[in-house]
Structures are given as structure tokens and as C-alpha cells.
Chains A and B, each alone.
Chain A
């Protein structure tokens, strides 16, 4: 009996002493942390993709709390709604941001870009790029080994077996930029998604002179400059034999698409252009509706 009492007492006292010690230590060495960091982290998607430029969601949350304004801080996954919530927690206004999307700027489909050699090494764009021009004659185009697919943490980019090119799933892509980093040829660009996902893209980055580029790929931009002349908003620049559309200046008039002799300029997510036969009246009204949208 006595033994039990003594043991209980000894254990109890030791326990209390240890608890007191822990409590005092915790008080003494407490790390002051802004509780808002946790709150902000709660709002963030928690994908830890690094698309914001920080090491993860926690790092972005810390940066948001530390910073005086939310300019330049953006979670590409959550976009404007999440940043608004973050702003609400911190009592700041989130900078307006246009949602972006990864765009593959190569349209060298198998039919347009004949194979000149066969590569039997490792299916890895980085390795292939370091070895030689690739299976086709275009030294700028997509290599088709799928480094971008492997890099995507959101399963938003896939190889199309028919064209041999990667395709971005517009629903899933959050513009974290992982694929753009992975591409050794710098084909993938993060561009403004545009109203209703509509955008104009030059799907070629070939810097060769027109004739050389055209010989390698029928869909190549030959840098003729017709689109630049046609554009009334100075949105198109032709540099190093390749055209580039500035998505900030582009007003989606689609004129450039019509003049491009090689079809390198693509209008994405637009309704089908004026039907050949004036069959349905509803369809004819679409262009005007579109114009209104643009003006708005």
C-alpha cells in the first residue's frame, strides 16, 4: 500500500514539475508570429506549386502579410477571387489581375513538319535539345517528348498523339508556369486568357529566315510582316523573323489571322467565323455581338 502511495506521489510531483518547466520554457521562448499568416494560408489553395514565385503557399502567405500592398503578389491557382479574400483578411485591396493560361506556341503538326531523322534515345526534351535539332528540321519547334506534361502538377497539359504537340486543358490550367520552365525551347508562354478565353496567338517561334522556316514547317511564321501592317492597334511586332502579338494591346479584331499566309496566327475560342452559306441568321449576328463585347 505504502509503495503505491509513494510511487504515485513521486510520479505526480515529477509530472507537475515537468509540466511547469515546459510551460515556463514555452512562455520564455515563444515565437511571435502574426496570426494572419495562418489565416491567409487557410485561404490559399495549398497546392504548393510555386507558380507565385515563392517556395510554397506558406511562403506566399508570409510575403503577403509582410508586404505593404498586394501589388505583384498573385496566386495564379486561385486567381483574383483568392487574392480578394487575402486582401480582406489583411485589409488591403488586391491588385486587379487578368487570369493567364499556358499557351503552346508551336503548330508544327506531324503533317506540316516532315521527319528528317529518327531519335531513339531517352524520351526527354532536355536531352534531345542538347543533342541536336530534333526529328524534324525545325530547330525551334516542339520536340514532343513531353517534359511539359511531366512537369505539370495539375494534369493540365497532355500530348496529342495525332499532332505530336502538347495541348493545354483550359479548365485545369492555372498558369503556374511549370511547363514554361520545363520546355528547353521556350515554346510555352503564359498569356492573358482573354475575355471568354478568346485570344490571338502566333503559334510559332521559329527565328529562321522565311524560306528556311517554311522549308522546315508549313505552319511556320515566316516573318513577312503582313500582320504587323494589318494591325491597327500596334499590337504586333516582328523581330528575328517571327511575329509576336502583345496580349495587352490586342483588341481581338482577328484581322491578322486573315492575312497570315502560312496560318501561323490562331484565334482561340472564337465562335466559327462567318459561315460560308448564310444559313442561320443567329450565326450572322455573332460578329457584331463580339464587337460589342470587345468594346465593353
Chain B
């Protein structure tokens, strides 16, 4: 069985809590708050006014540039104000506030559950449709999908890699989506293959989801050019570059994008959104989120409309457990602890994890013993011990020489360090600083 070749760690997957829980619909909020920054790139520009009535699926904010995404109203009601709200980390972000009245959808949206397999749109039309629907990568990075589908001149996509790995411990939303909406995902894959003008797609799924592998294999056997690649368990297999290496044995060069080796990677949740946008004319207004943790009363997978306060999603799952020490947005490896769960659900939040007090504490760091475990674990072939020391000493030029910009923030180094050194904390800080220096240098030129 295949996996990627450099580094990687084996955290306990802890998926039992929410695995195989059917996707449940989270009730609509009374007041929805829709942030204007839900993606990488320029913030979206609001196109509605105070007092305006909106329907579900109506465009409320236009993309602020090429690398940006449209935002559609996930609810129907009246816009009360366009103001700022706090994100999960207490920082301000612009948002549109809507008072929810009923659940009235745009007539153009097909709300039936029938699977429509035929798609006769031209590639350009498909990409346009995806761009209009404001679809971003739902795997975590939130990179606008339409940008990925338009390779720069001279580059040609050869294979579509579908990310059904879900290597983050605890999270199960993609797994459940594959089980429940396999056919839709398969249609979505065909649509994307058509948009890219390619004949081959590989679905990568880790072997801890045997039912998803079986289901997708069964569907793939009826579809031309799509194959399922079961993968050995290893974190961070869901990273773009790691998945390409695992599935088609090609290595993306340092600093380059996957298109360099002819690959386009998309998450299954993104592909499901593509299907809905192209076949059902439904823009991206909701996503499946995992709410999980050892002490959560009703852990599970919830389909949440954007703008719903996370507190409401938590209430659906039985409220915040009493022994909670940390609430993490996303998975335990790459997610970030949140200090405010009043924040509305958005395209970025793939899960909520409640860690008990005893498990949430970080261990006091000790001295580096030069064991080199972090070097072995780094899936990008970097030297985390060195980079973190350089960041500590503010040696930005040296960090750049040692390819800090290749770091994918996966946290393998931190996970594996026997001295519990805060390697990633420093590397991330260094990466941000070096990134700033590189951008300033480019701007000067």
C-alpha cells in the first residue's frame, strides 16, 4: 500500500467518536453573521445594503479580486447592518448581519435530492459557474477553487487528485460525505475532469476508512478514468504535496505549485460543492462540520449554514462538556485553539474539537537533545530544530536559505519532539517574517 516517502508521523486517529454518524442538519439561527473574509486572498466586497431583503443563495458580497471568492447569503431575511465582528481569536473582521426570516430560496436553485449525472457545459462555463458560486478549498486552506482550475500559460494539468484522506485525527466530515454523497462526488470529479480537459483522476483514501474505499471503488468501477488509491495511514497525507507523492509518485519542487508536476488536488468536500454548484445551481452556503471530543454528548457530523453561531452548533451536539480545557477549530494537529465560540460558522471551520483539560495542556519544554527526530518527521525534508533556533535568534536570511517557506505548518516536528520544544511556534513566526521580507523585496523590484 502506498504512502508519501518523506517524513510523517502516526498520531492516534481518534475518529471513533464521530465516525459513521449521519450528517445532521443544524437548525437555522435567528441572526446570521456572515464574515466577508472566508478565504485566502482579498476580502469580498459587500453588495447589499442595510434593510435589503435577501433570499438563500443570493449574492451578498463580490470577490475582491482574482484570488478571492464570492459570498452568498446562507439564509433568507433582512440585512440589518454591515459592521465588524470578532473572529474566534478575538480579532476584528468585517461581516454582514442578517435577521433570519423563514427559509426562502432563490428559484433557480434545484433543491431536490436527485443526482443529475449529465453535464454538457463547456470547460469555461464550468469554471465560471464554480467562480460564481464562491467555491474555495474546503480542506482547510480555503484557496479559491477556480484559480486552481486555470493553470498559468505553459502549464498543463494531467491528473486530478481527489483528497479523501482526512488525515487529521478526530475529523470525520469528509468520510461521512463520501459515504452519503459518493455519487455526487463522482459526478463532481467528472465535471472537474471535463473543466480541466483531462482523462485521469485518482481518489486517495486512507485505509482507516474501508467502507469509504469500498464505496468509492464501486462507483469508480462504473466511471471511466477514475481510480481509487487506498493509502497507508500517515499524517500529513492530506497535504497537497504529500498526497501527490503518495498517489502518483511525483515530487513538487520547492516553492512550486502542484500544477508544476501536472496535478490538481481538490478535497472531496470541495468536489461535492462543485457538483452542487454546477448541477444544482446552489452556491457554497453550507458545509459539513465535525463536532467531536471524548466528552461531547452527541459528537457527529453537522451540515451547517454559514453564519450560524458556533455556539448553536455546539448546543446541537449537547453543549460544551464540563471538563473542556481547549476548544480547537479544525483538527488537533493543524487546528487552532479558539477563545470565542460565538464566531459564526464559515468556509474555514471544518470541525470543532473539545479537548479535556488534562489532555489540552502543553508540556514544559526542555533542552534540545539533538536526536534529529524532527528532521526525520518533517514531510517537507526541512530541519525544524535549526529553523526554530534561527527564528529564536531572528536570523531571517538564514531561515530563507534553509527553505522555511516550504514549511506546511503540519506540526509533525512538534508532535515528535521528545523534549516538547515549541518548534512550530517559532518556525511559523519566522515563516511569517521571512514571507514579509520576501514580499517587500518583490514590491521594491
The reply on B395 being an interface residue by CB < 8 A is no
**B90 contact from A126, A127, A133, Cβ within 8 A:** A133
Binds A, one of B58-66, B251-259, B424-432: B424-432
B414 CB, min distance to chain A CBs, angstroms: 11
Question: Is the pair B339, A132 in contact by a Cβ cutoff of 8 Å?
Answer: yes
Question: Is the pair A133, B429 in contact by a Cβ cutoff of 8 Å?
Answer: no
Question: Is the pair B361, A137 in contact by a Cβ cutoff of 8 Å?
Answer: no
The reply on B362 being an interface residue by CB < 8 A is yes
The reply on B91 being an interface residue by CB < 8 A is yes
Which residues of chain B are near A240, meaning CB under 8 Å? none
B404 CB, min distance to chain A CBs, angstroms: 15
* Contacts A122-B422, A126-B429 given; does A132 touch B91 at CB 8 Å: yes
Which residues of chain B are near A121, meaning CB under 8 Å? 362, 422, 425
**B429 contact from A116, A117, A120, A124, Cβ within 8 A:** A124
**How far apart are the CA atoms of A133 and B87 in the complex, in Å?**
10
Q: How many residues of B contact A (CB 8 A)?
A: 15
Question: Is the pair A130, B90 in contact by a Cβ cutoff of 8 Å?
Answer: no
Closest to A184 in B: B429
* Contacts A116-B339, A121-B362, A132-B339 given; does A127 touch B425 at CB 8 Å: yes
Q: How many residues of A contact B (CB 8 A)?
A: 15
Query: A118-155 vs B: 1/0 string, CB under 8 Å?
Result: 00111010110011111001010000000000000000
* Contacts A116-B339, A130-B432, A131-B336 given; does A139 touch B92 at CB 8 Å: yes
**How far apart are the CA atoms of A125 and B361 in the complex, in Å?**
20
Question: Is the pair B426, A133 in contact by a Cβ cutoff of 8 Å?
Answer: no
Closest to A117 in B: B339
**How far apart are the CA atoms of A75 and B288 in the complex, in Å?**
61
**How far apart are the CA atoms of A189 and B86 in the complex, in Å?**
28
**How far apart are the CA atoms of A133 and B426 in the complex, in Å?**
18
**How far apart are the CA atoms of A134 and B422 in the complex, in Å?**
18
Question: Is the pair A134, B425 in contact by a Cβ cutoff of 8 Å?
Answer: no
Which residues of chain B are near A124, meaning CB under 8 Å? 425-426, 429
Query: B405-442 vs A: 1/0 string, CB under 8 Å?
Result: 00000000000000000100110110010000000000
A131 CB, min distance to chain B CBs, angstroms: 7
Residue ranges of A at the interface with B (Cβ–Cβ < 8 Å): 116-117, 120-122, 124, 126-127, 130-134, 137, 139
Shortest beta-carbon contacts, A-B, top 5 = A133-B90, A132-B89, A117-B339, A122-B422, A122-B425
Instruction: List 7 A–B pairs whose Cβ atoms lie within 8 Å, in order of A's numbering.
Output: A116-B339, A132-B89, A132-B90, A132-B339, A133-B86, A133-B89, A139-B91
